[in-house]
Structure 1
Amino acid sequence: MSAIMVHPYSSLPPSAFWRHGVATQAADAVSDIHHPAFSLTASDAIATAGSCFAQHLGRALRDAGLTVLDAEPAPKGIAPEFSRRYGFGLYSGRYGNIYTARQMIQLLDEIDSGQPDPLHVWSREGRFHDAFRPGLDPEGLDSVEEVMAIRQRHLSRVGAMLAQADVFVFTLGLTEAWRCRNTGRVYPTCPGVVAGSFDPAQHEFVNFSYPQVHEDLEGLYRRLQGFNSGMKLLLTVSPVPLTATASGQHVLPATQYSKATLRAAAGDMAAGNLDVDYFPSYEIVTNPAAAGKFYAEDLRQVTEAGVETVMRSFLAAHGLHLQEKPAREGAAPDDLICEDAMLEAFGR
């Protein structure tokens, strides 16, 4: 009678093995991929922020009946298309896309100080733009003073909103950024792309490393708890590749570096803190079993089917359900507001 071999792999579930967990599973029906560190309930007040892919998550949470905070709702009577173009309803604050943890930290620090910095106002054709939200007023504003007044109100309202939040959902998008040499402040896009002008004496490129990203996530968590000591942090990584890289590398390894760094830092952050969770939206979209069907023809934008799969999996892990709507095969949602997509215009 042969002895039965017993070892740590003998009792693992099917999801622990590539053949059962990936190769023989339909990409849009992957199960058991996420076990939440904490549950989302109807009583939770949820705040959202991050890169443009995070816009999907906030929408899905609202559709599932959860309470998603909105510090700066659109004025009454404004058409939905117009309000989204001006940054209303994208996230829990009208802060536009926040691609890096460093950018999020500086926003929280600015809220604490209560003093917007007039140095960071960009101009274009005689109009003025908030350098940290350059795309939210497409035609620009009349003066630096108007930009500052609107930003002051923005900081006040976002601060009040964060004091109410039980869960902060943040989607990491990039490790690459441009910053001011004098102040160290990070911008959501390179000066000169949306507004302003690029000056190598004033602006520099930065590509955040794993230690920097992890340290920033730790700092982000501490600052959020300063607004509400019981606030939990839920992290995701955007599956959208870089539009372009200023790193000097080919855009493919530059993208892989960025996503691997963000994924590792987010995972380690969640592993080390009971009130921090990581949801694998990046892994679901890039799953080899999808054979690329979760990306549109440009191999960058995520298709409706990909978005639906991510959101259904996320909500199901919390015992919630996605609002059903038919997904168009191969179609990409076309209503996301993304500053970095403008870089495509400069490609040859």
Structure 2
Amino acid sequence: MPYSALPPPAFWKRCRESADFRLDAIYDPKVTLRPGLRVATAGSCFAQNIATYVRASSLSLVEAEPAPALMRADVARRYGYGLFSARYGNVYTARQLRQLLEDAENATLHDAAIWRRGDVWIDALRPNVEPEGFRTEAELCAFRRDHLRRVRAMFDETDVFVFTLGLTECWADRTSGLVFPTAPGVLGGHFDPDRHIFVNQGFADVHEDLTEAITRMRRWNPDLKVLLTVSPVPLTATASGAHILYATTYSKSVLRAVAGEVAALDPDIDYVPSYEIITGPPFGARFYNDNLRTVTAEGVATVMSVFFGAHPDLGGVPRPDKVILDPETDPAPQEDICEEALLEAFAPQETTR
């Protein structure tokens, strides 16, 4: 019988007999990491944790867009510095990633991505990185061009790119197809149903966007290795009209299937099972805060223990608290900076009788 030769982690009962469900066996990396490798990160809110741990490890975090030297750590974080390897903010979808790389290659600016909010201008493709907005449209465009130049240069010095898939839902400009990290009107601009359209991508669309993005990266850097993860953070809200649990399950299922498919077909692309660790039935809601959405510090540490434990050459699990620049203003743990979470404010208030 083919099952008789399988190891204990292949059986639910044998895993259930272990206090930690044999998590040390859940990740068997194809891509070997060693000290000094240059790692760049991008993705959804949960991916911000990866940069924190990589910075504290024997790996080298690519900092393509570092904060000004005299900027306080808490201010730098508020302005999008240090969350990822560049100041692109949260990249929730594969379409967003593909779009960013295309813009970086061609130094493209989009009229549809220039929003107003009162007297200031907002970069619609990274609306959270300048919380106070830009004073002029020209200033916005200058910052955008510099950002794209840095994103393109980032891949010339990157050995491993880590990307966390977060959502399938997004809002797009009907004419150009440009997608935004948040709905128009939330952080700037205004929602126009004649101009803006809701998109909920399926497997084929996400697969195409992700493979095209990776192809473009490798045209710039043929030796690039890629690690894919799926965010375990549920949707804050869904514009699909479905129940939020239904919508979350659909979105994460598509992303997980795409990540697995892409990784299975390429020896230099790996999948890291952070989603399974946090959401798995053996742990119930243990790794979520009381809102059953945001991940606890224990949950993040468990994922990172599995990840670094599978790469013994890295010297063990890092201690992020050792690299915080200013404990008075930048304490750990920190909440992720997340545009999607702002959608909670738009929930209708229930009335009581």
- TM-score, normalization: structure 1? 0.94
For residues 48-80 of structure 1, what are the alpha-carbon distances to aligned partners after superposition, in whole Å with 9 as ceiling and x for unaligned? 000010010111112112111011100011111
**2:152 paired with 1:159:** yes
TM superposition shift of 1:118: 3.4
1:18 equivalent to 2:12? Answer yes
Aligned to 1:58: 51
Identify if the C-alpha distance between structure 1 residues 77 and 289 changes in structure 2 by more than 3 Å, giving closer, same or farther. Answer: same
1:324 is displaced (CA, Å) by 4.4
> Residues 315 and 346 from structure 1, CA distance in 2 versus in 1: closer, same or farther, beyond 3 angstroms?
same
Instruction: Summarize deviations over 1:217-242 as a string: whole Å, max 9, x none.
Output: 21111011012011111100000000
1:272 is aligned to 265
**d(CA) in 1 for partners of 2:21, 2:88:** 32
Per-residue CA deviations over 1:274-333 (Å, capped at 9, x if unaligned) read: 11100000000012121211000000000011000001101111113223489xxxxx94
Give the structure 2 partner of residue 329 of structure 1. Answer: none
Q: What does 1:330-341 correspond to in 2, within 5 Å?
A: 333-341=333-341
The aligned residue for residue 342 of structure 1 is 342
User: What are the residue-to-residue correspondences of 1:1-348 with 2, within 5 Å?
Assistant: 7-21=1-15, 23-27=16-20, 30-319=23-312, 320=314, 321-324=316-319, 333-347=333-347, 348=349
Shift of 1:117: 2.0
Residue identity over aligned pairs, in percent, reads: 49
Equivalent pair of 2:24/2:310 in contact (CA under 8 Å): no
Take 1:317 and 1:146, find their aligned partners in 2: how far apart are those partners?
45
Matches of 2:21 and 2:191, distance apart in 1: 43
Q: CA–CA distance in 2 between the matches of 1:256 and 1:243?
A: 13
Query: Do the aligned partners of 1:45 and 1:165 also contact (CA within 8 Å) in 2?
Result: yes
Q: Aligned-pair distance for 1:346?
A: 1.3
2:319, 2:119 → 1: CA distance? 46
Give the paired residue count: 336
The change in CA–CA distance for 1:29 and 1:74 in structure 2 (over 3 A counts) is farther
Q: Which moved more, 1:63-72 or 1:248-257?
A: 63-72
Letter in 1 for 2:5: S
* Alignment check: 8 A CA contact 1:243 1:344 kept: yes
Q: Distance in 1 between matches of 2:43 and 2:10?
A: 30
For 2:329, the equivalent position in structure 1 comes to none
> Where does structure 1 lack aligned partners over 5 or more consecutive residues?
1-6, 327-331
CA distance in 1, matches of 2:320, 2:333: 13
1:4 corresponds in structure 2 to: none
* Length-normalised TM-score, structure 2: 0.92
What is the aligned partner in structure 1 of residue 325 from structure 2? none
Cα distance, 1:24 vs structure 2: 2.4
Q: Is the 8 A contact 1:302 1:333 kept in 2?
A: no
**Distance (whole Å) between structure 2 residues aligned to residue 13 and residue 307 of structure 1:** 27
**What is the rounded CA distance, in whole Å, between the counterparts of 1:53 and 1:47 in structure 2?**
15
| CA distance in 2 between partners of 1:28 and 1:156 (Å) | 45
What are the Cα deviations for residues 75-123 of structure 1, in whole angstroms up to 9, with x where unaligned? 0111111100100000011000000011000110001111322331111
Tell whether the 8 Å contact from 1:118 to 1:148 is kept in structure 2 after alignment. Answer: no
Change (3 A) 1:193 1:27: farther
**CA separation in 2, counterparts of 1:59 and 1:28?**
26
Rounded to whole Å, the distance in 2 between the matches of 1:27 and 1:245 is 33
Structure 1: distance between partners of 2:72 and 2:335: 14
Are 2:36 and 2:58, in contact at CA under 8 Å, matched by a contact in 1? no
Amino acid at match of 2:93: T
8 Å CA contact retained: 1:244, 1:251? yes
SS at match of 1:119: helix
Q: Tell me, in whole angstroms, the C-alpha distance in 1 between the residues paired with 2:251 and 2:240.
A: 11
Amino acid aligned to 1:46: V
RMSD between superposed Cα atoms in Å:
1.5
